[in-house]
Amino acid sequence: MADAAPPSDAELVGLRERIDAVDRDLLGLLNRRAELAQQVGEVKRKEGSVAFRPEREAKVIDALKKQNAGPLKTESVAPIWREIMSACRALETPTRVAYLGPSGTFSELAAVGFFGSSIVRMPCPSIDEVFRATTAGAADFGVVPVENSTEGVIARSLDLFLTGPLVILGETSLAVRHNLLRRENRLDGLTAICAHPQALAQCNAWLSERLPGVERRPVASNAEGARLASLDPSLGALASLHAASEYGLHVVAPAIQDDPNNRTRFAIVTHPDRHPQPRASGQDRTSLVVSVANRPGAVHDILVPLKVHGVSMTRFESRPSRSGQWEYFFYIDLQGHPDQPPVAAALDELRQLCAFFKVLGTYPIDAH
């Protein structure tokens, strides 16, 4: 059977005209949605309720993904509708989001991926500053890395959750691809590679093999490393393609991370006085931090309520209390929402067993 003939110029013109007509229809529908969003915003302002409801947006996107019949890929639905909802939300109120900067970091990509691009971006020089800006109200939300699939937890984020008032209301994760960036498109002549310590660790094997004598210089963020590399031709950086574009750098070697499936999980944080706990979405996670008395069987005892009430634990991390007494805090992720009776019962019993007990947040699970 002969291959189908390519469309003629006339056919292409006709198809493009039909696409243009659909685009006009879409624009009209989007503006109708925006008008409704403005009306919702007016109702919310009268009621004093918040503009951003992560569980509501998660439900909307999940329902649309289930309704999708193609040929649009289902994985394309979420980013498209996040942008639509972000643009409509911006009509209600500007959303100020703090994250680890400067421009071009994976934290910025996570912030835009979660909230959409219609936000007020607030890059911060450190994770500590993200927490400070969000606690003080300069930002409505903060985005902080909490866990990497290769290197484990981000210790500083966990420590700040323990001592500060912020709570988690959402999460997102990114596939992290580290690229070696430089002003010159070559490997020779490099004196140092600048990157966040986690990125340097995640590329250890490649750097040891290809650049064994080159200094590995830790900096506050990968984008900061890219900025420094843009100023000095002898420096390289490990950063995203977005950072390469932002700072005018060559991608000397792409995707050099040791784990091809490398991902980083980010928490979306806010002050509980400014944003209520998300309602149950049906696919939720509850994060908490606890400590127990230093006695035999104490850690086993805190796991018993979870087993009795059938609550799944998806993460269990220990961090030293820094008291000098060899005591630890335990960071725990549970599957479910406190509005569900088994989860509520397990949390009540767990609270009675702990010397310290703090719920860090309940939020919709990231689908990635």
Task: Per-residue pLDDT tens, the chain, 368 aa: give them.
Answer: 455 556 678 888 999 999 999 999 999 999 999 999 888 888 888 887 777 888 888 888 889 999 998 899 988 898 899 899 898 888 888 899 999 988 888 899 999 999 999 999 999 999 999 999 999 999 999 999 998 887 788 889 988 998 899 999 999 998 889 999 999 999 999 999 999 998 999 999 999 999 999 999 999 889 999 999 999 999 999 999 989 999 999 999 999 999 888 899 999 999 999 888 888 888 899 999 999 887 788 888 889 999 999 999 999 988 887 655 557 889 999 999 999 999 999 999 999 999 899 999 999 988 65
CA torsion angle 340 341 343 344 (round to 10): 110
CA dihedral over 243, 247, 252, 258, signed as positive or negative: negative
* DSSP SS3 for 149: coil
70 Rama sector, left if φ>0, alpha if ψ -120 to 50, beta otherwise: left
Helix axes 341-353, 298-308, angle to 10 degrees: 160
Tell me which H or E stretch contains 223: helix 222-231
Do the Cβ atoms of 44 and 36 come closer than 8 Å? Answer: no
Domains 50-173+263-273 and 179-253 share a fold: yes
pTM of the predicted model, to two decimals?
0.80
Pairing of strands 235-239, 284-291: unpaired
Pairing of strands 96-100, 141-148: parallel
131 is catalytic: no
Domain limits, the chain: 50-173+263-273, 179-253, 284-364
Which residue is catalytic, options 105, 264, 270, 362? 264
Helix ranges, 93-196 (H): 106-115, 127-136, 155-163
Which residues are registered as beta bridge partners of 241? Answer: none
Do the Cβ atoms of 93 and 70 come closer than 8 Å? Answer: no
Could you please state the CATH topology (level 3) that the domain comprising 50-173+263-273 is classified under.
Answer: D-Maltodextrin-Binding Protein; domain 2 (3.40.190)
Which residue is catalytic, options 266, 270, 286, 362? 266
264 is catalytic: yes
What CA–CA distances, in Å, run from 90 to 34, 118, 120? 10, 6, 9
Is 284-364 in CATH node 1.10.3720.10? no
Do the Cβ atoms of 41 and 92 come closer than 8 Å? Answer: yes
CATH class of 179-253: alpha beta
Do the Cβ atoms of 345 and 309 come closer than 8 Å? Answer: yes
